[in-house]
Amino acid sequence: MGSKTERFYKIELMIRNRGQVSFEEMLTELEVSRATLKRDLQFLRDRLGAPIVYHRDDNAYRLNEGDQGDKHELPGMWFDERELYAMLMAHQLLSQLDQDGTLSRHMAPLLDRIYQLLGTDATPSKDVMRRVRIISPARRAVPGVVFETVAAALLARKRLHLQYFTRSRKKATERVVSPQRLIHYRNTWYLDAWCHESDELRRFALDAMEQATLLDTKAKDLSLKRVEQELDGGYGIFAGNQVKWATLQFSADVAQWVQREEWHPEQRLTPQPDGSLKMELPFVDQTELVMDLMRFGPDVKVVSPAGLRQAVVDRLTQAQAQYAKRA
């Protein structure tokens, strides 16, 4: 009978609607082997927390409502009240990543079900959700239709046809890509994909996709290990594996905050006797690293490499020149 998930639903409904069901009745209606049914019942109880028990006297399976306690049921899953509120909080976090409402719209039926299980209307639960706030300055919104198309292609393992605007070259291009991974970084979404025009892995900003069309062609599959090796070596969102290392010196005034920050998973931090902090981290493209260093002003010094140090000096000089101009 159908998929495993369909069997789970039917087993639950049979027991709940009839009060108790024998093993033989389930075998007949599900049309599966005895071994399969045994595995399904064990999975429901052990992995999904379903309070299904076997009553030897009646030779039948029931839902043990006494053991269920304050558990609440979603199809195939049982949650207590704290877990349901945790799900509401998780939705609140997701909704903050989703200015266009795409994720929230698809999760609406699940939220309605959670409100029902909590035995309340939406208003009290929404008040709880409002007590978590995420501030996302400079958020770059992604049109819902683009996000949905890209996500569908990624999950269905299909290729995409993109009309893409490359900001650095101020040029629009068309290309076919095979999606490999979605990334949310600094308030916007990116797609790691195999570009069939350049014949290499590339990283694309979803907000720069002027149009995305799902194709029937099967996507080229790459291992996630390869994607990580080729795109995740550098600093920030700039992709690549030609890694250089930067050595930075932070003043004692900001060291206590910086030492708790992760700028890169492979960074190395060394506290100095005078209270300052030395940070070593890899980067591929210096653009984003320079931007982040600029916000520390005189509280950070680039020790090496010389090219990165000069880039920061140039930016600071240009900024100073702006203020030196007469109005």
Using alpha carbons, select from 326, 304, 303, 302 the residue that is nearest to residue 315.
Answer: 302
Distance CA 169, CA 117 (A): 53
H-run or E-run covering 154 = helix 144-156
Number of C-beta neighbours around residue 218 at 10 A: 11
Question: What is the residue-wise DSSP string for 70-130?
Answer: T-EEETTEEE-HHHHHHHHHHHHHHHHT-TTSHHHHHHHHHHHHHHHHTTS-HHHHHHHHT
195 forms bridges with which residues in the sheet? 177, 200
pLDDT in tens, the chain (327 residues): 556 767 877 888 888 888 899 999 999 988 899 999 999 888 888 776 778 889 888 889 988 765 555 554 555 555 666 666 676 766 666 666 655 556 666 666 666 666 655 555 555 556 666 666 666 667 777 888 898 899 999 999 999 999 999 887 889 999 999 999 999 888 788 999 999 999 999 999 999 999 999 999 999 999 999 998 888 878 888 877 788 999 999 999 999 999 999 999 899 999 999 999 999 999 999 999 999 999 999 999 999 999 999 999 999 999 888 888 765
Question: What pLDDT score was predicted for residue 277?
Answer: 97
Q: What is the pLDDT of residue 299?
A: 96
pLDDT given at position 99:
55
Distances, alpha carbon 57 to alpha carbons 16, 21, 120, 166, 243, in Å? 19, 13, 38, 71, 69
Measured between alpha carbons, how far is residue 258 from residues 98, 142, 262 in Å?
29, 31, 8
* DSSP structure string for 27-50: HHHHT--HHHHHHHHHHHHHTS--
Name residue 268's amino acid: R
Q: Which of 215, 178, 212 is nearest to 198 (CA)?
A: 178
- Angle, vertex CA 303, rays to CA 302 and CA 308, nearest 5: 50
Beta bridge partners of 204: 191
Dist CA 213 CA 216 (whole Å): 10
| Distance from C-alpha of 126 to C-alpha of 167, rounded to nearest angstrom | 39
CB contact at 8 A, 308 and 288: no
Other CB atoms within a 10 A radius of the CB of residue 7 amount to 20
Answer left, alpha or beta for residue 134, where phi above 0 means left and psi between -120 and 50 means alpha.
beta
pLDDT recorded at residue 174: 95
- pTM recorded for the entire structure: 0.63
